[in-house]
Structure 1
Amino acid sequence: MSRIYLIDDHAIMRDGLRLVLEAAGHEVVGEAADPTPALADLARLRPDVVLLDLRLGQRSGFELLAEFQRRGLKLRVIVLTMSDQPRHVAEALRLGACGYLLKGSAGSELLQAVEAVAAGRRFLSPQAAEFAASAPASAEPHADEDALSPREHQILLMVAQGQTSNAIGEALHLSPKSVDTYRSRLMKKLGLHDIAAVVKWAIREGLISLDED
């Protein structure tokens, strides 16, 4: 059976996954709601499979996948998410994910995915495979999106969620002026001209939703 690490910002989701996985004989060796402790744990624990959500509060699962590559962490990652956007499937696979599964999938499908990925195979849920196959060339990540640094991506999410420069600066230990500089830089990279455009872009890309608390 496999050693598994869970990364999801909802405790109830992690608890449910743990129950399903442990009932099937797998060992959940750790869990995290945020990328920072997850990175420290993963370098130490080296699990067989990582289950990763794409939306991690003010952070992104894409950011974490990119960080795995930068650090040379050879991890078998299954993205487990609500996002059914073709470009997100394509981006996750481009960043090294071995599997992509929607959160509405049955527990049996989750176990199939874990077994396949632990054995070194790729697993896409039927819906994700269809999305990946149907993704047009224009759905590939734009160079401007790829150019965002992890910090810029983090600030993008916080701006899109309606947080002020002062609030963002306090949360990230930056001056409001530094936050404004990051915001101007990321907006230029994405070709966005005002905050409303930032919010629309984040909604379109599935980074935030209209019903998000």
Structure 2
Amino acid sequence: MSAPIRVLLADDHRIVREGLKQVLADAPEIEIAAEATSGAEALAAVQASGGPPALHVVLLDIAMPEGDGLDVLQALRKGWPMLPVLMLSTYPERQYAVRCIRLGAAGYLNKGADPDDMIAAVRKVAAGGRYITPATAEQLAGALDRDRARVGHEALSHREYQVFRLLTTGHNVTEIGARLQLAPNTVSTYRARILEKTGTRNDVELALYAERHARGDPAA
């Protein structure tokens, strides 16, 4: 029997972790080496393991407390560039897949993905490949075409996009500052840039903009 694929499973919802473990249990060569319930725990677990070769894949939720999943992804890419990170989310691919791949993720999976696809994704990234669905591949191609003239939410920096996502899910400036460890006036500056880049005037218009593009914009 070949050596096991050792996986770190990072998700703050226990029921999700248990479901993922049940799915991966169908592949005898995949082993859950560690679990984390926050971004900080995920980084600590990788640090404790020493990364590869003791750990082969990180399954990382995007919406994590104590460290946004995208920030954790960037930290992992910087500290352990040879450790594949497979992003997990309840968000549709069109909202996050391209952004995750651009930040260095080895793949993007919706938590509702078919179990066989989940197992195939872990196997592929553990072997050094990338797991990109046809839908994500199409979005990547479209994104490349638009790179010369980025507009709206596509023009947002990584940090601006984090603030954008939190604003449009009902968080206020103070809450966003606490979550991202930023001063409220810094968040307000990001908010002003976001309104300018999206052509909106206030949080209500911004929420409507986000809803419109979440439904229909493949590059969101």
Same fold, TM exceeding 0.5? Answer: yes
**Structure 1 partner of 2:24:** 21
1:25-174 aligned within 5 A: 25=28, 26-45=30-49, 46=51, 47-56=55-64, 60-71=68-79, 73-86=81-94, 88-132=96-140, 137-138=145-146, 142=150, 148=157, 150=159, 152-168=160-176
How has the CA–CA distance of structure 1 residues 82 and 142 changed in structure 2, closer, same or farther, with 3 Å as cutoff?
farther
Unaligned runs of 5+ in 1: 207-213
TM-score by length of 1: 0.72
TM-score by length of 2: 0.70
Unaligned runs of 5+ in 2: 215-220
Contact 1:58/1:154, CA 8 A, preserved across alignment: no
How far 1:168 sits from its partner (Å)? 4.3
Of all paired residues, the percent bearing the same amino acid is 33
**Pairing partner for 1:4 from 3, 7, 15:** 7
**Within 1, Cα distance between the matches of 2:71 and 2:117?**
26
Q: What amino acid sits opposite 1:37 in the alignment?
A: E
How has the CA–CA distance of structure 1 residues 62 and 191 changed in structure 2, closer, same or farther, with 3 Å as cutoff?
farther
What whole-Å deviation, never above 9, does each CA across 1:16-36 have from its counterpart, x for those lacking one? 111222442322122233322
How has the CA–CA distance of structure 1 residues 100 and 166 changed in structure 2, closer, same or farther, with 3 Å as cutoff?
closer
- How well do the aligned residues superpose, as a CA RMSD in angstroms? 3.6
How far 1:3 sits from its partner (Å)? 0.8
Find the residue that maps to 2:108 and give its secondary structure: strand
